[in-house]
Amino acid sequence: MLMRFLWAGLMAGLLAGVPAAAIQHFTTTPLIIHAEMYEHAEHSDHAALEGAAGMQDGKVMPAGYILAHGPAAEEASGEWAPDDGLERTFYTSIATVITAIGYAFMLLAAMFLAKSEITPRTGLLWGLAGFAAAGLAPSLGLSPELPGSAAAGLLSRQIWWTTTVVTTAGGLWLILRVSSPLAIIVGVVLMVVPHLIGAPHPEVMTSEVPSELAAHFAASSLVLHAIVWALAGVAAGFMWQRGETPAEL
């Protein structure tokens, strides 16, 4: 059973992750690269102004100061980053495939624990539920962001995002699996509470990228997220039904 679980999850993640990575390459990745141009230009302007102010004050700016927030920040700090082009595409695709494998394992585990029949159809339904909990619900408060977008502190956003995912998943479980009147009421309350509290946002809503670009990215990211969850669910059900692992054949 364990080998069947591992084999189905791994293969399902590959089946879902490869096409998702291809879609990502032609949709969200170009938008991110475009936004980075605005971010780098903005940082370069700020650095130039600060450098000029430092010279007027008669102060010597530290070596590499102007590059600290620019495109060469990785070189100045010694941090590694993939080069644009094939190398960046490769590592981005690998990350997408690994994410899809994780989704497939989570969906298989959830269906197994819920004693649900594991088929492509049920996998799709569980995948859509996973997207609703991990993608759609958090986006109501924190939409997908491009580099250079205004954002609150990272820790506060992570706490709110995690809380929203957990409460939404719990609410969906109560509504769809338990389905008693009390469970439905509690489930709805759980799903609504994070949004009543509100997601953390910066005091000043400023952005270095055009609003049209940010809106396009948010929409594209959500569609891609839904595709990954759906493909992972369908592939997990399909691979599980295949049954035997290569070692058992």
Cα four-point dihedral sign 20, 22, 26, 28: positive
Please identify which residue in the block is written with the tokens 């891609």.
Answer: 224
pLDDT at 106: 96
pLDDT at 153: 86
- By the 10 Å C-beta count (0-12 exposed, 13-18 middle, 19+ buried), 130 is classed as buried
pTM for this one? 0.80
pLDDT at 56: 41
- AA identity, residue 109: A
| Proportion of the chain above pLDDT 90, given as a percent | 57
Main-chain phi, psi angles of 116, to 5 degrees = -90, 145
Distance, in Å, from the CA atom of 200 to the CA atom of 219, rounded to the nearest integer, reads: 20
DSSP letter for each residue of 7-47: HHHHHHHHHHHHHHHHHHHHTHHHHHHHHHHHHHHHHHHHH
pLDDT at 20: 95
Q: Could you give the C-alpha distances from 191 to 41, 110, 168, 185, 219, in angstroms and in order?
A: 40, 19, 5, 10, 22
Which of these, 219, 227, 244, 216, lies nearest to 18 by C-alpha position?
227
- Reply yes or no on whether the pLDDT at 10 is more than 50: yes
- Encode pLDDT of 114-164 as tens digits: 999 999 999 999 999 999 999 999 999 998 888 777 778 889 999 999 999
Rounded to the nearest 5 percent, the helix, strand and coil shares of the chain are: 75, 0, 25
Which of these, 29, 16, 15, lies nearest to 89 by C-alpha position?
29
Main-chain phi, psi angles of 77, to 5 degrees = -95, -10
Size of the chain in residues = 249
pLDDT at 70: 35
pLDDT at 244: 55
SS3 state of residue 57: coil
Cβ proximity of 230 and 127 under 8 Å: yes
Distance, in Å, from the CA atom of 172 to the CA atom of 131, rounded to the nearest integer, reads: 12
Distance, in Å, from the CA atom of 6 to the CA atom of 22, rounded to the nearest integer, reads: 24
Please identify which residue in the block is written with the tokens 């569980």.
Answer: 126
Q: How many CB atoms lie within 10 A of CB 124?
A: 20
Token representation of residue 151: 């954002």
